[in-house]
Amino acid sequence: MFDMRPITGDEFVKWTRAEARAHGNRLDDDPEILRPHFDLERSIGVFEGTDIVGGAHSHVIEMSIPGGSATIAGVANIAVQPTHTRQGIMTRMMHHQIHDIHERGEPLAALFATESIIYGRFGYGIGSLYERWTIDRSHNRYSHRFENQGRVSFIDPADIAKDLPEIFRRATVGRPGVFQRPIHQWVRDSQATEHTQGGQGGLFYITYEEDGRIDGYAVYRIIGTNLCVNELMAVTSKANTALWRFCFDVDRMSTTEALRRPVDDPLPWILADPRRLQRSTRDGVWVRIIDVQSALNLRQYMHSDRLVIEVTDELCPWNSGRFELEGSSKGGECSTSHSQPDLSINVSNLASAYMGAISFSTLAMAGLVDEKTPGALIKADHMFSVQYPPWTPCNF
């Protein structure tokens, strides 16, 4: 018989080591580093006697949504020991956590899935997508003549917490799916051993400055003859083209790789031969609508209109029903309804459309939305459209 409860302060280190072991890792850092940013009341420990065989955690974070931001539950550290899989521990934890988040009044939850097959059955839907790139040096020429009008410089890692958070914020304004890193994460990154270890693989930071103002930065590492761009943030098109040009032109490199780029990134349109850019798409953050009515009230809508949406949610009975939405650029007014529905959708697919990751029409073509009223799909597409597709450049 398993006991499930929040962990105590005395169990924190044991819980942390169990979580790492479940994912096949050994902790390099002292677990105590994480304690100041860990809310014991939001933890879950699954115990068999005194042994921790499963666990999960969530913390309060801000996530950008279409037209604004929301205070949500950031779900992390989900783990079941390899000795105790296939015994229902994961399902029990996830059900408990979703209900706990609802009791806390948080309308949305988000997580990053190590295995994408798992979380749909708990009502999570893909909230953002990103691309991974690789391009050979011989094919990275721009389609137009490029002249760097600013200055690209290296920055000391010790200074990144001072210089880069504002650039990150400016570069992601208006983009759904973004989490602004808390300052303690920037400080921790600035102190990482990757900056001081010998040999290849360490991180380097560069900035683009023009007229005394930093308008972009990039973070990269070199392994062999491959330059891998971990992150590139640019506020202006000049900063964007200059930073990529620098990464493409570093001597002795044969390829450039980028790990996590938005699906609407302008770089493919800047390249002379974009076909040579090898691109693959995968899921970023996963979002769970904990309270449909509250969530629909939070975001803004590209076009003003009215819809009645019928939602099914097997885990959250308060979400199953019909909701009348009056949406506009100022926000939503949503209430329960007994009117005939215009659309019928389950909660996980609604989460993807809510974030702007996919249109209702595409979901309908996949058999995941039922149009009850003719014309409702195009109406929903217009209402829930976004200027920038959701992107999650970093984990929380």
* Sequence-separated contacts (24+) of 166-172 with Cβ below 8 Å: 167/207, 167/214, 167/215, 167/216, 167/217, 167/233, 167/235, 168/233, 170/235, 171/216, 171/233, 171/234, 171/235, 172/64, 172/233, 172/391, 172/393
Q: Report the DSSP beta bridge partners of residue 23.
A: none
Which residue is catalytic, options 12, 47, 119, 360? 119
- Catalytic site residue 354? no
Residue with tokens 């799909």: 377
- Find the catalytic residue in 124, 208, 220, 396: 396
Note whether 263 and 131 are within 8 A (CB). yes
Q: How far apart are CA 214 and CA 164, in angstroms?
A: 9
**Which residue type sits at 87?**
Q
- Residue 269: φ, ψ to 5°: -85, -15
Q: How far is CA 390 from CA 127, 214, 303, 378, in A?
A: 7, 25, 18, 20
- Strand 331-336 vs strand 321-328: parallel, antiparallel, or unpaired? antiparallel
State the catalytic residues.
119, 396
